[in-house]
Amino acid sequence: MNEHGSTRLSGVFAALLLSAAAIPASAHHSAAPFDMTKSVSMQGTVEKWVWANPHSWLYIRVVEADGSQVVWGFEAGSTGMLARTGWNAADMKAGDKVTVTAAPERTGNHIGLLNKVQLASGRVLSAGAGAPPPGAAPPPGPATNAPSPR
Amino acid sequence: MIKHILLLAVTLCSAMPALPAVGAEPLGSSWTDVTKLPDFFTGNWQSRTSFLDNPSNVPFTAKALAYIAQFKPIEDIPFAGPSCKTPGMPIIQRLGSPLKFFYEPGMIAIYVENSSMTRFIKLNGKHSARPNPTFLGESIGHFEGTTLVVDTVGFDDVLLQYGDLPGQGTGPFVLPPEAIFGPHGPNLRMVEHIRLVDSDTLEDKLTIYDDTVWKQPYVSTPVQVFKRNRGEDGWPREWVCNTADTLIFDPNQGKTIQEDPAEVLKRLEKNDKH
């Protein structure tokens, strides 16, 4: 079921997105094509989870309300930084049911900058790797010396 | 009297081992020096600042102004493309993944996780007479107190930011479409002052010298700030560019083409090696 289209952000989530917008690892090409003021959230089935550099990618198949199917691609961080934030290459495999939240691509393509993934188990993986803007709360994990959510 | 002179001489001689020898080796020359160096080495260092610079007032040369007049902004830097062509120094140090410092007498190495490249800084040495061009450059360094001063020359085709487009680049995180990039001259030189601000904060002040671009030394702003990761997060990791199947970078447009994910997925499955 497609549940995307939610463009009204809570303050907390807006802050998270702004933090994500400031991630240097993504900024070299991500922040420009993605609308960081918006958020989409959708449920789908994992087609492929590409653990790669400079960016990992998650591809899911989403069933629209009319029954049609759409493949979405979501860009995530580098493997090292994802690992520091608690991710693992084995976290997802084809066929897994997931709920993805992302900043959509500006031109309407089915592409997003991944913000978080909720697995069928309920576990949430967040894309918090990287540097927050000055004054913002630090991301979870590496820079804070806080335990990673492994 | 002679007895007193002898006693003084013996006293002075016995005290000599405690005094630094004239012409002593500079800091960074021995294994024991590692205990005297600032601790750049525990864990790794996570960039906390924009990888591109904010605007500066350093005046451009006529040649640079002519180049800027015809410059077309780019959306992505080439690093985003399938080959992950490194931007080289200084930007490669700032792309989000951490830096890891190592030491041996006469050398400090910095593993740059983004790209799995390593800088080798020769301590207390001299530049080669004719350094071959590289993307990290040829670096020599020395300590001024607790500050590591690194002088780098011999650059290949690095991604050099001249500045920012008018009215752009004022935010805390400057993006590629806001910046001006251009070629460097033959004598491009970068000087870094690297020091600990506190036990978990490192800063890298950069000054760039290129008289084909700027009339005066270019001081990079903001000063690059890094935070220390410790423990498991401070462990370096492999980084290999392997997104050739997911991203297509168009150098003519200066951006990554956003393909239909369904088409990318077909290509991935066709080329799947696992």
Listed residue (B238, B233, B237, B203) closest to B43, CA to CA: B233
> The domain A11-144 belongs to what CATH superfamily?
Nucleic acid-binding proteins (2.40.50.140)
Give the per-residue pLDDT at B179.
Answer: 95
Average pLDDT, chain A: 71
Residue B74 is assigned to a structural domain of this protein: yes
For residues B55 and B255, give the distance between their C-alpha atoms in angstroms, rounded to a whole number: 23
**Closest residue in chain A to residue B274, using alpha carbons only:** A50
E runs forming strands in chain B: 44-47, 99-104, 107-112, 117-123, 138-144, 147-153, 160-164, 179-182, 189-198, 201-209, 218-219, 224-229, 248-250, 255-257
Residue A29 — pLDDT band, cuts 50, 70, 90? low
| Count: domains in chain B | 1
How close A65 comes to chain B (CA, Å)?
19
Residue B63 is assigned to a structural domain of this protein: yes
Asked whether the predicted pLDDT for residue A142 surpasses 70, the reply is: no
Residue B117 is assigned to a structural domain of this protein: yes
CA neighbours closer than 13 Å in the CB half-sphere of residue B152: 25
Taking CB atoms and an 8 Å limit, are A111 and B261 in contact across chains?
yes
For residues B197 and B38, give the distance between their C-alpha atoms in angstroms, rounded to a whole number: 11
For residues B231 and B111, give the distance between their C-alpha atoms in angstroms, rounded to a whole number: 17
Taking CB atoms and an 8 Å limit, are A142 and B229 in contact across chains?
yes
For residues A79 and B239, give the distance between their C-alpha atoms in angstroms, rounded to a whole number: 7
**Closest residue in chain B to residue A61, using alpha carbons only:** B262
Taking CB atoms and an 8 Å limit, are B173 and A21 in contact across chains?
yes
Residue B154 is assigned to a structural domain of this protein: yes
Which residue has better confidence, B77 or B16?
B77
Taking CB atoms and an 8 Å limit, are A24 and B96 in contact across chains?
yes
Give the per-residue pLDDT at B105.
Answer: 97
For residues A59 and A39, give the distance between their C-alpha atoms in angstroms, rounded to a whole number: 17
CA B132 to each of CA A41, A84, B155, B186, B209: distance values in angstroms, whole numbers, following the listed order = 51, 36, 8, 11, 18
Helices (H), chain A: 11-21, 24-27, 79-84
Give the per-residue pLDDT at B206.
Answer: 98
| Per-domain boundaries in chain A | 11-144
CA neighbours closer than 13 Å in the CB half-sphere of residue B236: 19
Q: Is the CB of residue A145 less than 8 Å away from at least one CB of chain B?
A: yes
Residue B273 is assigned to a structural domain of this protein: no
Name the pTM for this structure: 0.80
| Residue to substitute from B95, B242, B253, interface A, most A β-carbons within 10 A | B95
Give the pLDDT confidence of B131-140 residue by residue, as tens digits. 999 999 999 9
Rounded average pLDDT over B97-120: 96
Query: How close are the terminal C-alpha atoms of chain B, in Å?
Result: 90
Asked whether the predicted pLDDT for residue B175 surpasses 60, the reply is: yes
Residue B206 is assigned to a structural domain of this protein: yes
Residue B207 is assigned to a structural domain of this protein: yes
**Residue B115: which domain range?**
32-241
Q: With a CB-CB cutoff of 8 Å, which residues 110-129 of chain A face chain B?
A: 110-111, 129
